[in-house]
Chains A and B, each alone.
Chain A
Amino acid sequence: MTEAGSTRAPWRLYLLCALAWVIPGGGHFALGRRGRAAVFLAVIACAIGVGVHLDGNLYRVVPGQPLTILATLGAMGMGAPYFALRYLLGFAGDAEAAGYEYGTVFLLSAGLMNLLLVLDTWDIGSGRKE
């Protein structure tokens, strides 16, 4: 065992990735990258906040529009905030709002950025990346 991460139990790696998905930056925090985790959390929280402020579309699957499946998966990438916004706060966006398109991009980007963090957590946890 020459790589540090190769000794890590797979279930712990899956748990780290789940944590990274649920809480933006959570995976990096658990791996000891506290500073980077704080930056990631701040960036994604800011993107979500601006997206909500602009009344962007929080994607959900629309029957007959298959591309919304991909968009919904992308937006769900933000983890817990997606479900909190959708089910706890009932947020859906406002198509007539002036910043609707911009807000949609902010919300979708927040989800996609967090998915990249999950992949990065996997790489760090498995020892592929320092």
Chain B
Amino acid sequence: MGHLAAMTLYAALLSVFFATLWRRERGAQIKLFAQIFGALLLGAVAFGWLMYFFPSGPPAPIP
């Protein structure tokens, strides 16, 4: 399973869970699902792009 697939599946599971937990009407559930799913997925991609400005340093010393 690739990184994107795992992340997408994780976002989908959390979105379904919280949409079902916090909303009762079907329309509100779908709306909240879309909001959480979009925020998690797009937020992760955006955060990943931001990481380009912080290149990794030298490898950590082996203790």
Which bucket holds chain A's interface residue count? 20 to 34
B14 contacts partner chain A, Cβ-Cβ < 8 Å: yes
Which A9-58 residues have a C-beta within 8 angstroms of B? Answer: 36, 39-40, 43-44, 46-47, 50, 53-54
Pick from A43, A53, A54: contact of B17, CB under 8 Å: A43
Say yes or no: A99-B1 contact (C-beta < 8 A), given A113-B17, A116-B21, A120-B21.
yes
Q: Which residues of B contact A83 (CB under 8 A)?
A: none
> Are B1 and A105 interface neighbours, CB within 8 A?
no
Q: Which residues of A contact B10 (CB under 8 A)?
A: 102, 105-106, 109
B42 contacts partner chain A, Cβ-Cβ < 8 Å: no
Q: Which residues of A contact B14 (CB under 8 A)?
A: 109, 113
Could you tell me which B residues sit within 8 Å of A by CB distance? 1, 3, 6, 9-10, 13-14, 16-17, 20-21, 24
